[in-house]
Amino acid sequence: MTRKLFGTDGVRGMANTYPMTAEMAMKIGEAAGRYFRRDGSSGHRAVIGKDTRLSGYMLENALTAGFTSTGMNVLLLGPVPTPAVGMLTPSMRADVGVMISASHNPAEDNGIKLFGPDGFKLDDAAETEIEQMALGGVEPVQAENIGRAKRIDDGRFRYLERVKSTFPTELQLDGLKIVIDCANGAAYRAAPEVLWELGAEVIPIGVEPNGLNINLGCGSTKPEAAAAKIREVGADVGICLDGDADRVILIDETGAIADGDQIMALFANRWAEEGRLKGRTLAATVMSNLGLERFLADRSIMLHRTAVGDRYVVEAMRAHGLNLGGEQSGHIVMTDYATTGDGLVAGLQFLAEMVRTGKPASVLARSFEKVPQLLKNVRYSADAAPLEAAAVKQAIADAEARLNGFGRLLIRKSGTEPLIRVMAEAEDEGLMTEVVDQIVGAVEASA
């Protein structure tokens, strides 16, 4: 069944435009409330967090109205990272957690992510049922059974303590100068506070949210600002989070950028040496670089590839009993510590390696040589189906024939935006560029 609301990471779109309207947010709240309160008993709870987008106020109120109309009580966390919602949902004995965020998207977008009572994101089946209920309508409870809403003032501090507990107690960050870029997002207070409390000299940027500047020229999708700051102040390392702080990009002392693949390589190798990498396997998506796969194979570590989306990485990890996975984009999932990607926890694990080994970030963040990879995005109109066009199919077939034995090709629709993503890997960069441009041209002509 084709889904109309939910994509690879919840519901997402431009605020005040379908489906990210107050009306639809209320319907999603009603549906999720009814889904998790089927027995009709009292005492059910929903936890709601958000990032710093202006539209978060509107959606928070609408979701609250929806949940309380079905008899659910609502606990409002205010601005907290996405992993805080995953952590606090089971901690506060809630039935459902909600994060209002469009992650790395610009400020005009927003989204709704749902977590189950175990703190993990809902699977496709649950989301599909909630979507059907939202679109079909939900019967409200009688007036005397309407739920209550309460603001929780210490949600950030609860998360802070959990994050600090993941850092080895015998280590501290004294002597390290760290640039932390919070993307003017959900971790703008939590991340600098954690690093300072662990002893680091902290240089924060992207910590002045105004509702409209989240991810704007900063954060994990724009790490150049942090790289420049590192060179300016002579910092040892930079940590770049995205708007909801569930992903991280690292920058070494020279200003060079390391993506999620390099971070996962470091962690997988270290954990395998210590005997704590479950299944001696790393879960990563089809987007991860071929260089990572070769690095792991040389160390007898398996790579389990999944569909794109940190939710699918987590599902594979849970199905196969794994404890480490992630995405090239910077979602690093360590289920020993969190139920979803946590950029701050991943950053702390990297810092622990710096302290433990005495090696600079430039050494630790370069575990392998990447195979040249090129990714281009093509925007298409809502009524177009470019991947179904004969010319596009032929261009893809021709590209695959040219790359056969010499590289890898991946074409997919984005689950969060109207984009076709065209990616190729090949040792021959000229060939790689040619096949990507060939497919991009065909898609553009059909979009």
When pLDDT is averaged across residues 259-286 and rounded to a whole number, the result is 97
Mean pLDDT of the residues in the chain: 95
Predicted pLDDT of residue 40: 67
Tell me the per-residue pLDDT of 324-377, one tens digit each, with 9 for 90 and over.
999 999 999 999 999 999 999 999 999 999 999 999 999 999 999 999 999 999
State the pLDDT at residue 304: 98
- Nearest C-alpha neighbor of 323 from the set 309, 333, 315: 333
- For the stretch 381-392, pLDDT in tens is 877 888 999 999
Q: How far is CA 28 from CA 47, 109, 302, in A?
A: 14, 17, 39
Kindly state the tokens that stand for 362: 């430039």
CA angle 124–126–32, rounded 5-degree value: 130
Half-sphere exposure in the Cβ direction for 206 (13 Å, CA): 36
Say if CB 332 and CB 322 are below 8 A apart.
no
Domains and CATH numbers, the chain: 6-153 (3.40.120.10), 158-256 (3.40.120.10), 260-342 (3.40.120.10), 373-446 (3.30.310.50)
Could you give the CA distance from residue 373 to residue 148 in angstroms, rounded to a whole number?
Answer: 51
Residues 69, 101, 103, 288: which is the catalytic one? Answer: 103
Whether the bond into 19 is cis, omega within 30 of 0: yes
- Tens of pLDDT, residue by residue over 400-446, are 999 987 889 999 988 777 899 999 999 999 999 999 999 999 999 98
How many CB atoms sit inside 10 A of residue 394's CB? Answer: 11
* Confidence band of 447 (pLDDT split at 50, 70, 90): confident
pLDDT in tens, 126-164: 999 999 999 999 999 999 999 999 999 999 999 999 999
Q: What angle do CA 212, 67, 333 make, to 5 degrees?
A: 60
φ and ψ of 253, to 5 deg: -70, -15
Q: Band of the pLDDT at 67, cuts 50, 70, 90?
A: very high
DSSP state of 90: H
The side-by-side arrangement of strands in the sheet containing 373-379 is 373-379, 419-426, 407-413
Give the model's pLDDT for residue 385.
86
Percentage of the chain with pLDDT > 70?
100
Q: What is the pLDDT of residue 43?
A: 81
- Alpha carbons within 13 A on the beta-carbon side of 383: 0
Q: Is 103 annotated in the active site?
A: yes
Amino acid 1: pLDDT: 56
Cβ–Cβ under 8 Å, residues 318 and 308: no
Residues with Cβ within 8 Å of residue 65, at least 6 apart in sequence: 26, 29
For the cut 80, the answer to whether the pLDDT of residue 38 exceeds it is: no
Q: What is the pLDDT of residues 74-121, one digit of tens each?
A: 999 999 999 999 999 999 999 999 999 999 999 999 999 999 999 999
Residue 368 pLDDT? 96
Structure tokens at 77: 């966390």
